[in-house]
Chain A
Amino acid sequence: MKTFSDTFKSALREDRQLNAIISYKTDKAFYVLTTQDDKDLLTENDDILITQQGFLEYDKEAINSVNPLYNVSLLKTTCKSVQIDSNNKIAKGTWVNVKIGVYKEDTQNYEYLDFGNYYVNEEPTYQADSNSYLITAYDKMIESMVNYDDNPLSITYPIFHKNFVMAICNKLGWSYDLIDYPNYNKDVSKDLYTGQNLTYRDILDDLNGACGGSFMFNLENKLIWKRPTETNQIVEDNDLKNVNVDFGEKYGKVNVLTITTNGNVVLGSKQDETSIEENGKTEFNINDNYILNYSTEDFIDGLFNEINGLEYCLYDIDSTGLLIFEPLDIFTFRHNGVDYKTIMFNDDIKLTQGLVETTFAEKPEETEKDYTTTDKDKNKLNNAIISLDKANAEIVLKVTSDGKLSQVRLDGNASDGSIFEIKSDNIKLEGYTTINGGFQVDLEGNVICNNAIIKGSEVILSDNTEIIGGNGLLTNLQFQSTNVKWLNKLPGSYFLGYNYAYSTGAFKNWLEIDCIVPKDFKITEAYVNVYHTPVNWDGTRGYCRNLKLYKVLSPLNANINGAYLSEYEATYNYIENNTNALNFTANGTSSGEIATSSDIKNLLDVGFNKFTIHTSDSVPSVSADDNLNQKLGAYTGYCYAVVNIIGFKK
């Protein structure tokens, strides 16, 4: 509320003399324009004075009308304006000061109220019919109507809400006088505004939406934050014209706050159950606020505490002139003995030949939210959050309850492509599900892949290869070395080392293992086990040395020579390669051993395979007269081998 004397209001009532002063400065002079002559304005009663600062031009007939006005919305910034109809042209870029005063008989002079300083931001409009100029000017808030992206703030996030506001003030060269308003110390956690094509005013409005009240300029040209403030002023019937007097219903008490986006998606809400029971429900809605969309939880408590309980009478009146109220002043109409407490939201003062002040208060825009999407359990409301970050193309849906979390995150701005991320203890998909057209899950739970079909217990690959599943099992094909027995009573085995024939002398023995790998048999693993037992050659312990595993190349093409009734043994001439999968020398004790080769699955061909096992040592040079038990027997053990091929039929 403006400051005024005890006799101001009475001087304004009934018959009065009014004066308006418009003062401004140009390069040439200081101008004082009035609607009445006020002998106390100037020390000399001349129209033109020369002062140290230049010419002073005083014109008491230049002003035709003065019209200060403002419209306030809660949770938005306020910008006052003035329209002046003047015979003088006041150019764009001029700061004007406006005062309106009333003549007081007791002091025989005018008492003026200061309406502040205004900036003429457009060239005046010439009015030919009256040969005058219509000048429109705004308070300092007009300076925030500049694009943010052209000259953004250099701040680091997170940043306190109040520090953000002060950073804007410093950027725009504004003085400020800010109290610790609601949510002043809550973090604006990230940049929500860059690239959104906003003005600084838009951003201030957004910040205002997160703290309640209204940011505005006071009469000292400082940015302040103001909430509805009681003035204890009574406006009576003799302050009102006898036309256009309308007192309506009471709005409030506000007891529900909803934060929404897109007009109908509820991001959060709070309510006062006791007030709802006593007064009925009155909801205050904030829609599409960047800060609240992203950080609903952080700000909603402070905001609700600020707005809970708000109430005022709706009205629309023309008064004979009040002049004293500032935006958001609380005052009372007293009409026919009934009090109507209300708030100054809209004020339009028209001073022409006379003075009429039109003021009104309306309801905030009506909204009705669908509460079926929110639970009336206050605790559950706090655990369901939708966070929107339009600037960074991100939406997070999150619910928590007793430490359990379920969350979906859509991120269109991730560095490695867009992301759709689901976190939950259980993820359930219902209905026929497809992925990229190549993976499907039908209603019976069958999974169909472009590269595989899994149906019941069958797995069929894209090349129609079947994978054993369900009751199927891996197979171990085993092939044992089978060779001519040398001695009876020792089935399936062979003395492996050296033998002696009178016709050929000493020669090497070998194990021979034939393996058949079936067609369409997938080998997972293959190896050879050699089972070795030492032999007592007439007191000489014989055991194998340097047994190697050999793969016979083209086994069906062995050069085999034989003759019936011949004294000569049949001969075999294999072309074979050392597989390097086996290198076994027995330990020389009386114990048997099992030697295992490395994996030979890559050596196996489909169909017939032949392996041999024998020493890699050379055949000793002996004669029949030598002690062959010692010369040959000592290097000869008792062995058989088994090839294991593990796999499955496709």
Chain B
Amino acid sequence: MFIDKDSIKVNNISFGKYLVQAEYQYPKLWGNDTGRNLAGSFTGTLIGVFPKIIMQFRKLTKDELEIIAPILDSQSQNVTYYDPVKQQNITIKTYTGDWSIVNKSIVGHNGVKNEGFSISFISMRKRG
């Protein structure tokens, strides 16, 4: 939940000012015993909830992108966000999905910026 401008930090950097949208997903991961039992009912062991935050970035300047890009390309990130179940800020270790940037003109000339893009931050561990 985005409750203030610093509700999302990645590697201690507040990303709130770069974002136009944050989508919080809470997918469940089920164990390998998941399936149907002999009575035909669904059965399975919930391993846990692995939060996923899809961040929609606004248009970014060259300098702004150069700050963010290394974080997006790193092997893992520490993302702090406000979790409504925990009712507090929690930090999760994440990996990112693929991302891309669209340029429609020379960036930096006449105020041209990188077009906005989105990227997913996916928790490596189940929410504690």
Contact = CB atoms under 8 A, between A and B. Distances in A.
A157 to B, nearest CB: 54
Given A321-B33, A353-B47, 10 more contacts: A15-B43, A15-B46, A237-B39, A238-B39, A241-B37, A241-B38, A241-B43, A245-B38, A354-B32, A355-B33
A36 B34 CA distance: 18
B125 interface: yes
Interface string A15-32: 111100000000000000
Nearest to A39: B128
Contacts of B40: 242
B74 interface: no
Contact of B38 (A237, A353, A354): A237
A610 interface: no
Given A353-B31, A355-B31, A14 B41 contact: yes
Contacts of A356: 33
A230 interface: no
B42 A14 contact: yes
Interface string B41-69: 11111111000000000000000000000
A238 B45 contact: no
Given A18-B45, A237-B39, A240-B37, A37 B32 contact: no
B37 A16 contact: no
B43 A335 contact: no
A242 B32 contact: no
A353 B29 CA distance: 10
B39 to A, nearest CB: 4
A352 interface: yes
Nearest to A35: B47
Interface in B113-128: 125, 128
B27 interface: no
25 contacts: A14-B37, A14-B42, A15-B46, A17-B46, A237-B37, A237-B38, A237-B39, A238-B38, A238-B39, A238-B43, A240-B37, A241-B33, A241-B43, A242-B37, A320-B33, A320-B37, A320-B43, A352-B32, A353-B31, A353-B33, A354-B32, A354-B44, A354-B47, A355-B33, A355-B45
A15 B33 contact: no
Contact of A14 (B31, B43, B47, B48): B43
Interface residues of B, number: 21
A236 B42 contact: no
Contact of A354 (B31, B41, B42, B48): B31
B35 interface: yes
Nearest to B47: A353
Contact size range, A: 20 to 34
Contacts of A18: 45
Nearest to A336: B38
B109 interface: no
A26 B125 CA distance: 28
A250 interface: no
Nearest to B37: A238
The 8 closest A-B pairs by CB, nearest first: A354-B33, A354-B31, A353-B31, A238-B39, A237-B38, A354-B45, A237-B39, A240-B38
A60 interface: yes
Contact of B45 (A60, A242, A245, A353): A353
Contacts of B45: 15-18, 353-355
A61 interface: yes
Contacts of A237: 37-39
B17 interface: no
A356 B43 CA distance: 11
A161 B31 CA distance: 49
A15 B31 contact: no
A237 B48 CA distance: 26
Interface in A226-259: 236-242, 245
A190 interface: no
Given A13-B43, A238-B39, A238-B41, A353 B128 contact: no
A236 B35 CA distance: 17
A236 B33 contact: no
Contacts of A353: 31-33, 45, 47
A356 to B, nearest CB: 6
B44 A15 contact: yes
B35 to A, nearest CB: 7
Contacts of B41: 13-14, 238
Contacts of B30: 15, 354
Nearest to A36: B48
A242 B128 contact: no
B104 interface: no
A61 B37 contact: no
Nearest to B128: A37
Interface in B68-110: none
A320 B34 CA distance: 9
Contact of A241 (B31, B35, B46, B125): B35
B128 A60 contact: yes
A355 B44 CA distance: 8
B9 to A, nearest CB: 22
A633 B121 CA distance: 162
A15 B39 contact: no
Contacts of B35: 241-242
B74 to A, nearest CB: 22
B80 to A, nearest CB: 18
Interface in A2-55: 13-18, 36-37
Among B30, B32, B37, B47, max chain A CB count under 10 A is at B37
A317 to B, nearest CB: 9
Nearest to B46: A17
Nearest to B34: A354
Nearest to A238: B39
A597 B30 CA distance: 123
Contacts of A240: 37-38
Contacts of A241: 33, 35, 37-38, 43
Given A15-B44, A18-B45, A236 B31 contact: no
Contacts of B34: 354
A241 B40 CA distance: 9
A242 B47 contact: no
Given A15-B44, A353-B47, A242 B33 contact: no
A239 B30 CA distance: 18
A240 B41 CA distance: 10
A321 B33 CA distance: 10
